[in-house]
Structure 1
Amino acid sequence: MPLSEHARDHTLDIAVLAIYLVAVVGYGCWFAWRTKTSEQFMSAGRSIPGWAVGLSIFGSYISSISFMANPGKSYKDNWNAFVFAISMPLAIWLSVKYFVPFYRRSGHLSAYEHFEERFGAWARTYAVVCFLLTQLARLGMILYMLALAFEPLVGIDVKTIIIVSGIAITLYPFLGGTEGVIWTGVVQSIVLVAGVIVCLIAVMLELQGGFGELFKVAIENNKFSLGKIAFAEPNATLSQVWYANISQSTFWVVLVMGMVTHLQNFGIDQAYIQRYVTAKSDADAGRSVWLGGLCFIPLSAAFFFIGTALFVLYVHQRPGEIPVGTKPEGVLPYFIGHELPPGVMGLVLAAVFSAAMDSNLNCCATLYLCDIHRRYLRPNASERESMMALHASTLVMGALSILTALGITQINSAALDIWWKLVGILSGGVLGLFLLGVLSRRATSFHAAIGVIFGAVVIVWMTFSPIWKTRLEANNMAWLVSPFHDNLILVVGTLTILLVGLAVSRFSVRQTRDVRISSGENLETIQEPAT
């Protein structure tokens, strides 16, 4: 049974948490003495062992979004969102085979420098802007979820916690650079796993009937469902089958979304690319991706299992205990604040903070210096100026992340749904632009720009037409409402850029060939456009 509020003394918990925070932030800042140059700040001397990079990648995948939102999702619904993790192995294999060697050979610290070499400066800048906006949304969501967990313990309002924690996760990448981020990520990953294990054991100890009762109640309520798998219902028309499979978060929708998201993370996301580029060898880089990705799957399952156990505990065994108005992602923080004994709560909250401390601000600073400052403002920036730019951009992105988190507090919706929707919008289908450049030798800057324009229009349509649904229906324009589920925004946006770019490039080649033929030019002299 939960301890009464009067019986609880959080002094030990706060002490454990404070010791951890001081130690881990101090450890990250300690690497400041090794980051005397901009190259060291961004690449850590390209000498990090693969296992450390892998744990850092794993820690980056498990944020406070995962810690709070995944249990909230299985508490409220089922395990449909876990399909996101199931899609990981194939994406890892493709990434290690193609993406890791590509970036390791390029030697670039920016993941988007090759976009300019292939399509021009606009493509590079477009990719950078999309990444920075996505990171603002990510960091804002992480700080928000962290504040939800801490509020019941410290009794301070969410906004104050966001500001204080935002300053904390800005400090160590500001001083320690990429090396500090990676090695701090190793510590964070270990503490994170320990916290999840403790949380899982604690939930099971509270359940009456143990695993047997949990599985019985969960199966009766279809809580382990991975989502609809059948493509068609009996006697359904073709249009009904089509709509049913794109308008709902089915097994296949989440699987495809997960595959595209993982490929995007390892293929065009600066936060992951900058990590495996720092590995001391190509073999270490490949192993780091495998280690980080495969560790994510069982821990993700643990999060969903915790959410299911909380459903059995608070909906079936203790109905009415959760305060009215508590969001799904607030159920685990309630459990942490009311069920865990002193000291143990501090450890779990340290794990929650570990999940939030992977800020990626060093990656944002790297992009600012390489793709904006040196590209457009000061091509011949001195070493001193470069370090100043890295430090200043880290602080600015940290401040903007805090403001984003404060804005998210005003949104009344499930956190995981918000996050996946933001990823679909802000990623801008950049993976499609990357694939277009790799898969088509015909595609030029013009063809890529046409693809991006179409992709942006489709993303805007899929995002906002459902919001305008009532107004459109009132004007007999219901056909303009997107039938696609929000989880498909990233998928459809990526495919639109790729397929439109391929189609336009092929049409342009064919049109050029037809004009030359009509003018009497010999077929043998017609060349394909240069890459």
Structure 2
Amino acid sequence: MNDLPLIDIAVIVVYLAAMIFIGFYFSRRNKNPEQFTIASGKIPGWAIGLSIYATFLSSNTFLGVPGKAFGSNWNAFVFSLSMPLAAWIAAKYFVPFYRRTGGVSAYTNLEQRFGPWARTYAVICFLLTQFARIGSIFFGMALSLQALTGFSMHMIMVVMGICIILYTVLGGIEAVIWTEVVQGVIKTLGAILILVLIIREIPGGILKVADIAAADNKFSLGSASFDFTTSTFWMVLLYGFFINLNNFGMDQNYVQRYHTASSPKQAARSVWLCVWMYVPASLLFFVIGTALYAYYQVSPELIEPVRLQVAAERLGTGATPEQIQQLAASLKPGDFGDKVLPHFMVTKVPAGLVGLIVSAILSAAMSTISSGMNASATVFTVDIVKKYFRPDLDDKRYLRVLHIATVVFGITGLCTGLAMIGSKSILDIWWELSGIFAGGMLGLFLLGLISRQTRNREAFTAVLIGIAVILWMTFSDRLSGNYAFLRSPLHKNMIIVVGTLTIFLTGMLLTRIRQAQSRIVE
């Protein structure tokens, strides 16, 4: 880290050492699978709430949200506004359901409802979602640290991946939760510090930011028209509601935490604590992005290095200075939004504070990655290994498989992040991939929970139709020529909405048809 002062390096090293120490501390308790996966159900509700909040507040939020606000407006904030309704449904129905069923995996009940195929399908969807999530977070973390340290993104991802894997394997879910409590506090304080530093650099302060933002329509939440082909208010609200319903209802990262609570009431409280913390925190990051926009509008020459860097990366090593200058001049704010916050940190944050902010960015990434690794390992071991290969695993071998699976999923997520290098927007990547993988899973879960008369055959048929619709919406934009009319007219973020509703409504319709036929026969 030759580009960082010694004091900042020391702060970062101390933070990483503290995270690994927590892993070692809790490793003494991880003597059985129950402790590794649910901490024996002894975590207080407030700690679980902070943990879920920290998982939501990933580096996708820390870097992607300011980048979005800088490049466009506050349309993406509507995603956060959808959380209270999803949380209400989760606290009232999902938490009691999972606490009553008792299984550590979120997908065991699908087998009891529809058969082994349903459980395996949901597990595959979840694991694919985690690969996308962990990869995008590795990518976002490396993007900012590269600007600060000068090291390659590949090296940053590998080094940080080793640290995260180490404390997650050692400490299990208990270490994950308590490190996330610390990380949730650090990343929130880091965001407040960043905003203060930006406002301090702008003549006129927050009032000047408000004037510039209002003049350029940066506070807009999107068009109020019921147009689902573009990113309108209603499109993002629908997308956010279904994604958050999936998070609270089907995502092993959150469902597993419900089992770590001492009671169902504590588990439900943790969901609400997460929501009441995340909504204002996400707003804070939109304010940061808008403040950065105002700052670089006041001093546009200060953003030129970012324009040139992005242009050079797009053109490659053979580009001439004239070509780079020409492309840089044509770039819009949305083309380089994710790089603006790291650039500000490099050029304007004083020594000593950079280390604190880097630690906040690291904590934003590490909390979500470690949570995803633990949840993925739990699901793989319970729903795949024990189900199909080794149902007679004793506790010692069970714990060993959990450890190995944690390492494997950490490495897989790291490789996904490496593959994302060069992508345009962290938030866009994550939103699109999560919608694709999560749509079918949520639709099947709601079908099983709400329609008690639906049978295995009807659910299976509905899922096949839902998968076909999801694949069509995902890849139809590649059709051209005589087949262009077959393209999906809807925005890509509508995939989870349409996929979920297709499976649920098709299953309900097939159930009604069967019941009608049965009445005719009788």
| Shorter-chain TM-score tier | over 0.9
Q: Does 2:511 align with 1:505?
A: yes
Q: Distance in 1 between matches of 2:4 and 2:141?
A: 21
Q: Does 2:90 align with 1:95?
A: yes
Q: Distance in 1 between matches of 2:152 and 2:184?
A: 27
**In structure 1, the residue corresponding to 2:195 is in which secondary structure?**
helix
Q: Does 2:438 align with 1:427?
A: yes
Task: Provide the residue aligned with 2:389 in structure 1.
Answer: 377
Is the 2:439–2:495 contact (alpha carbons within 8 Å) kept by the matching residues of 1? no
Cα-to-partner distance string for 1:79-101 (whole Å, 9 max, x where unaligned): 00000001111111111000010
Q: Distance in 1 between matches of 2:455 and 2:476?
A: 31
Is the 1:28–1:183 contact (alpha carbons within 8 Å) kept by the matching residues of 2? no
Task: Provide the residue aligned with 1:390 in structure 2.
Answer: 402
**In structure 2, the residue corresponding to 1:380 is in which secondary structure?**
coil
| Stretch of structure 1 that moved more, 319-328 or 499-508 | 319-328
Cα-to-partner distance string for 1:237-276 (whole Å, 9 max, x where unaligned): xxxxxxxx11011000001111111111010110001112
Q: Distance in 1 between matches of 2:157 and 2:24?
A: 21
Q: Does 2:159 align with 1:185?
A: no
Amino acid in structure 2 at the alignment position of 1:292: C
Task: Provide the residue aligned with 2:103 in structure 1.
Answer: 108
Task: Provide the residue aligned with 1:58 in structure 2.
Answer: 53
Task: Provide the residue aligned with 2:150 in structure 1.
Answer: 155
Q: Distance in 1 between matches of 2:186 and 2:302?
A: 33
Gaps of 5+ in 2: 311-335
Amino acid in structure 2 at the alignment position of 1:296: Y
Tell me which structure has the larger Cα radius of gyration. 1
**In structure 1, the residue corresponding to 2:222 is in which secondary structure?**
coil
Task: Provide the residue aligned with 1:527 in structure 2.
Answer: none
Equivalences for residues 101-500 of structure 1 within 5 A: 101-231=96-226, 245-319=227-301, 321-322=303-304, 323-324=306-307, 325-326=309-310, 327-358=336-367, 359=369, 360-410=372-422, 412-468=423-479, 471=480, 474-475=481-482, 477-500=483-506
Is the 2:439–2:497 contact (alpha carbons within 8 Å) kept by the matching residues of 1? no
- Percent identity between the two aligned chains: 46
- The number of equivalent residue pairs is 491
Task: Provide the residue aligned with 2:317 in structure 1.
Answer: none
Q: Distance in 2 between matches of 1:513 and 1:138?
A: 47
Q: Distance in 2 between matches of 1:319 and 1:123?
A: 56
- Residue 9 and residue 384 in structure 1: after superposition, are their counterparts in 2 closer, same or farther (change >3 A)? closer
Q: How much does 1:319 deviate?
A: 3.7
Q: How much does 1:117 deviate?
A: 0.1
Gaps of 5+ in 1: 1-5, 232-244, 518-531
Amino acid in structure 1 at the alignment position of 2:392: N
**In structure 2, the residue corresponding to 1:52 is in which secondary structure?**
helix
Is the 1:462–1:489 contact (alpha carbons within 8 Å) kept by the matching residues of 2? yes
Amino acid in structure 2 at the alignment position of 1:266: F
| Stretch of structure 1 that moved more, 314-323 or 272-281 | 314-323
**In structure 1, the residue corresponding to 2:106 is in which secondary structure?**
coil
Task: Provide the residue aligned with 1:29 in structure 2.
Answer: 24
Amino acid in structure 2 at the alignment position of 1:343: G
Amino acid in structure 1 at the alignment position of 2:85: L
**In structure 2, the residue corresponding to 1:409 is in which secondary structure?**
coil
Is the 1:101–1:282 contact (alpha carbons within 8 Å) kept by the matching residues of 2? yes
Q: Distance in 1 between matches of 2:241 and 2:18?
A: 37
Task: Provide the residue aligned with 2:333 in structure 1.
Answer: none
Is the 1:32–1:176 contact (alpha carbons within 8 Å) kept by the matching residues of 2? yes
Is the 1:65–1:416 contact (alpha carbons within 8 Å) kept by the matching residues of 2? yes
**In structure 2, the residue corresponding to 1:248 is in which secondary structure?**
coil
Is the 1:140–1:405 contact (alpha carbons within 8 Å) kept by the matching residues of 2? yes
Is the 2:136–2:420 contact (alpha carbons within 8 Å) kept by the matching residues of 1? yes
Is the 1:104–1:277 contact (alpha carbons within 8 Å) kept by the matching residues of 2? yes
**In structure 1, the residue corresponding to 2:411 is in which secondary structure?**
helix
Q: Does 2:41 align with 1:46?
A: yes
Is the 1:109–1:274 contact (alpha carbons within 8 Å) kept by the matching residues of 2? yes
Is the 2:4–2:148 contact (alpha carbons within 8 Å) kept by the matching residues of 1? no
Is the 1:149–1:330 contact (alpha carbons within 8 Å) kept by the matching residues of 2? yes
Cα-to-partner distance string for 1:36-71 (whole Å, 9 max, x where unaligned): 001111110101000000000000000001100000
**In structure 1, the residue corresponding to 2:183 is in which secondary structure?**
helix
Q: How much does 1:317 deviate?
A: 2.6
| Stretch of structure 1 that moved more, 423-432 or 211-220 | 423-432
Amino acid in structure 1 at the alignment position of 2:408: V
**In structure 2, the residue corresponding to 1:246 is in which secondary structure?**
coil
Q: Distance in 2 between matches of 1:479 and 1:505?
A: 32
Is the 1:24–1:187 contact (alpha carbons within 8 Å) kept by the matching residues of 2? no
Q: How much does 1:293 deviate?
A: 1.5
Cα-to-partner distance string for 1:105-153 (whole Å, 9 max, x where unaligned): 1111000000000000000001111111100110000000000110122
When the two structures are superposed, what TM-score results if normalisation uses the length of structure 1?
A: 0.91
**In structure 1, the residue corresponding to 2:217 is in which secondary structure?**
coil
Q: How much does 1:382 deviate?
A: 1.2
Q: CA RMSD in A?
A: 1.3
Task: Provide the residue aligned with 2:330 in structure 1.
Answer: none
- Residue 490 and residue 133 in structure 1: after superposition, are their counterparts in 2 closer, same or farther (change >3 A)? same
Amino acid in structure 2 at the alignment position of 1:407: A
Amino acid in structure 2 at the alignment position of 1:395: V
Cα-to-partner distance string for 1:281-323 (whole Å, 9 max, x where unaligned): 1111111111011100111001011001111111343345342
Cα-to-partner distance string for 1:433-462 (whole Å, 9 max, x where unaligned): 011011112211111111111111111111
| Stretch of structure 1 that moved more, 71-80 or 329-338 | 329-338
